[in-house]
Amino acid sequence: MNFCIIDDHLLITQFIKRLLTKEYPESSFKTYLKAEALLAEKLDQWYPDVVICDVLLPGMNGLDMLTILKQQLPNTKTILLTSLIDIGMVKQAMRLGIDGYLTKDASEEELLEAIKTVLAGGRYVNASLKDKLVEHIFSDQATEFHLSTREKEVLQKICAGKTPKEIAYDMKLSLHTVQQYIKNMMRKFNIKRTTELVVFAIQKGLYNPALS
């Protein structure tokens, strides 16, 4: 496994490298202080499996660099790391195909979980961003149907294939409460069955797999 870490703070790159060395002892690592440094490498000789990159860097920013990298190496997994909670930036990153987005207040466990998730083909957004994304990423569509924040959360999980019981456990709610949210949404959408609710949400752009 080849890891690349890019951050203009040496302390951060060293910390992440030490953490990943413990988890992936057979891996190789490269660290850079600037985004352009990775693009200047002969990537056919050292293929990065995972690139973890800060957004705000001197010169080219991390999002632009990872977008270029994805075009050259579509199978490389990319994770943006930033101290900024910028919903617009997160939405743009998702549209451009970035695999993971982590704020720098994320725990070690969240970073490791993000890596495992993207390596398995999934997309990852850490906990401190999820609530804000649920509230904003589909705000225009959700406003049209007058969905509450909780209803939007439940809808994401239903579309991801979770049962009401699993949703209740995840959200620390009673099963009755979750079932009531589902009934409310079906009433608002004039829908009779849960399967129709899922199809409707996908068609209307109300479902994002990264938020499930």
- Angstrom distance (rounded) from CA 84 to CA 67: 19
pLDDT at 1 over 60: yes
pLDDT at 210 over 70: no
Domain 2-126: which topology?
A: Rossmann fold (3.40.50)
Give per-residue pLDDT as tens, 171-187.
999 999 999 999 999 98
Give per-residue pLDDT as tens, 130-146.
766 666 655 555 555 67
Q: What is the mean pLDDT of residues 111-140?
A: 79
Q: What is the mean pLDDT of residues 47-72?
A: 89
pLDDT of residue 160: 86
Tokens of 148: 């509450």
pLDDT at 190 over 80: yes
pLDDT at 212 over 70: no
Give per-residue pLDDT as tens, 29-38.
999 999 888 8
CATH 1.10.10.10, the chain: domain bounds: 138-211
Q: What is the dihedral of CA 13, 18, 20, 25, to 10 degrees?
A: 140
CATH 3.40.50.2300, the chain: domain bounds: 2-126
Mean of the per-residue pLDDT values of the chain: 86
Going by CATH, does the domain composed of 138-211 fall within 1.10.10.10? yes
